[in-house]
Amino acid sequence: MNKEIHQSDDSYRPQREGGAMKDDQRDELISRVVDGCAGADDWNQFRQIAAEDQQIWSDLAVAQSQYEGLCETMHSAAATADSVELPGGMIRHAQHQQRFEFVSRWGGWAAAAAILLVWVTSMGNSQTNPDAQRQNAGMVPIGSNTMLQSATPEQAMDQYIAAGYQAGRVVGEIPNPILVETRPMDDGTFEVLYIRQILERKILDEVYRETNDEFGNSIPVPIQDAPKQVRSF
């Protein structure tokens, strides 16, 4: 029976002797009584049906009880919902959303143009400067004499990626950073928070799968036979 219910949505028709129309009418009467919006006509019809079908009273009682049970859980959900406000910092952001959309629409082209300009400039430099040629030969262009202590964050990051790649620790950087939030600043600029994703690899002696014990506690279980491929997190 349960299976039958799940097979179809709108095509579902309860199987009863009186036919689908009569059943729908019966269900709607029960539903209106449960909702407390049954009028005099509805009650007359209800009594007429109840004269032939005593089961309707039992169905009404069950429907009423189930409705109250669901109201109880929805009341709890509503209380949870009432505690969730809009994130404060982002409301102001919404005010600037349209402006930001304009900027981002044209900002992409501006960024592309800037990258092209930098590339063309560096091409010109590399043809005349032998140091620059050596830099471009590497995977990540960093100053050959740049020490980590004096490096800018970008240079240090590039250095980490290059060193990690050579050591086999870093596989690569995911090209598209994840945008977390944009905040308009007082001076008309935008602060952009984003996540850079670096893919790393590690060789481990053994791996564990997380599972739950009979009490629902999380426990690690060693994997005996190495799976062909397991994706984590």
Partner 1 sequence: MNEWSTDGSQIQAAIGGDHDALSAVWREHRRWVAAILIAHKPRETDLEDLLQVVAMQVCRKMSEVRDPNLFRPWLRTVAINAARGEGRKVNTRKRGMLRFVGFEHPNRRGVSDATHANGCSDDAKRVLAAALQLPESYREPVLMRCLKNMSYKQISAVLELPETTVETRIARGRRMLREIVQINDQQSEKQQQRELNKQSSMSDASASAISGGAR
What are the CB-based long-range contacts (under 8 Å, 24+) for 187-195?
Answer: 190/100, 190/103
- Which structure tokens are listed for 176? 């598209």
Q: Which stretch binds partner 1 (CB under 8 A): 90-98, 126-134, 142-150, 192-200?
A: 90-98
- Judged by CB under 8 A, which stretch of 58-66, 122-130, 132-140, 163-171 contacts partner 1? 58-66
Q: Is 82 in the site for partner 1 (CB under 8 A)?
A: yes
CB 100, min distance to partner 1, A: 9
Among 43, 57, 67, 194, binds partner 1 (CB under 8 A): 67
Cβ-based neighbours of 146, under 8 Å, separated by 6 or more = 155, 159
Place of tokens 């449960």: 34
The residue from 17, 41, 85, 191 that contacts partner 1 (CB under 8 A) is 85
Among the listed residues 43, 44, 91, 138, the single contact to partner 1 using CB under 8 A:
91
Side chain identity, residue 58: S
What is the four-CA torsion angle of 222, 223, 224, 225, rounded to 10 degrees? -170
Residue 5 CB contacts under 8 Å (≥ 6 apart), including other chains: 12
- Gyration radius of the chain over CA positions: 33
Scan residues 174-213 and list those touching partner 1 (CB under 8 A).
Answer: 207-210
Tokens coding 142:
């960093």
Shortest gap between Cβ of 52 and partner 1 (angstroms)? 18
Question: Which residues sit at the interface with partner 1, rule CB under 8 A?
Answer: 1-2, 5-6, 8-10, 12, 14, 23-24, 27-28, 30-31, 34-35, 59, 62-63, 65-67, 69-78, 80-87, 90-98, 101, 207-210, 216, 218, 220, 227, 230-233
